[in-house]
Structure 1
Amino acid sequence: MSTRENPVYETLLVERREDRVVVTLHRPEARNAISGRMIAELHRVCEDLEREPKLMLLTGHGGVFAGGADIAELRRRGRDDALRGINSRLFERMRGLPLPTVAAVDGWALGGGAELAYACDIRIAGPHAVFGNPEPGLGILAGAGACWRLRELVGESVAKQILLAGRTLDAAAALACGLVMDVVPADRLITEANVLLDRMALSSALALRLTKLVTDAPGAHPVADDLAQAVLFESPDKAERMTRFLEKNGGRS
């Protein structure tokens, strides 16, 4: 069962389900360009997910993920706006959400739109997806995480091709370099993204949360592995799941 609660949002469609939130970027008049209002509304979604952790599916309306940031707003921004990290603070907050996030991308994911997709844990693409960061052509850089996050996702060589040479990645190229998990028909994109989330939802929420926390921690961290595992070893959920597994398999591991 799901409920739609959109009256409080102007730039998003938000569908809340028992185990997930589906967020659709919705500025059809501007190819879902990321505006200051959208940033503020996405912060509200993050606040809800920090208070009540759920999986999140993020997508765009009308066959476009997000055509970039709102250029008219960007043109008005100055040094102090840059230092506030308007977009980067949101994307980093989204990256740090307790439970996994999936971006379902078809059509353009450019500039800030691409950086928003990069901030999600997993991306799945439709056949018309295009990722790119053309910011230097506008006299700025991809300053909301792409300059370092993209290198982590696809490697230094491909990252520099995108950031410096203006290369765009279509769906096939994004799949080949590991930026996306899969490419599926456009009319199946949201369905397949939800299937992925269904699979995650079968796992222990606490185990997912701690696995994400450890995976995102910088550097080598065997102690973090040990501490997270210690918490999970004492959880009733772990005992119940392993008991069900053994009973199903006649006591064999």
Structure 2
Amino acid sequence: MSVSGAQAGTGRVAIVTGGSRGIGRESARRLAADGHAVVVGYAGDRDAADGAVKEIAAAGGRALAVRADVADEHAVAAMFETARSEFGGVDVVVHAAGRIALSAVADLDLAELDALHRTNIRGTFVVAQQAARHLRGGGALITFSTSVVGLAVPTYGAYSASKGAVEALTMILARELRGRDVTVNAVAPGPTATDLFLDGKDEDAVARLAAQSPLERIGTPADIAEVVAFLASPAGHWVNGQVVRANGAIV
């Protein structure tokens, strides 16, 4: 665990898995700007996680980095305990950690399917389970799906199947938390300019994807972080049990 600008105190507290890069990192920064103390969860890149914490601290926020494999229930439970011991509790959980593998169904290595299942399905379940146990009233769990679930793009079969499971889990948990004053929603981004998305794509491929949206661009991590911040805020608390397809109307 690495800490910067972090001390116990009152106020809202957020855990962001996958918080060292991309949409997770931008969401952590955005929530910190709204006054949340933030636990930046990361899988392995400590330097990136430390960078996210320092960025938040430099802007006057409070943050700490905690390493946790999201599919490991003991590591995730320890991350929630760290949030409680350092900041007093948990109000928002943003589960942005995920894995992607692209292949035609006929060609996919089943070991890759198992790895996808472990991170995207088991990992989401483990994080959601801890969120269900520990989120305070007025809190929010925000999971991540993908707009590809609806677009049915070839080579995304395994990834889309894993995210379809995330959507189903999200809808059910929203109803199971009746009486807790906790919301559960999924954000389903379209093409977004993260390192994970851009890897292996040339300029022409990105331009073709950008042209599919009436807004004629791909999304940015900041675009998605704004949706996360709304769902995490009191202003978004009437939105519950939904999949928000933040994709610029890509079809």
State the TM-score, normalized to the length of structure 2. Answer: 0.33
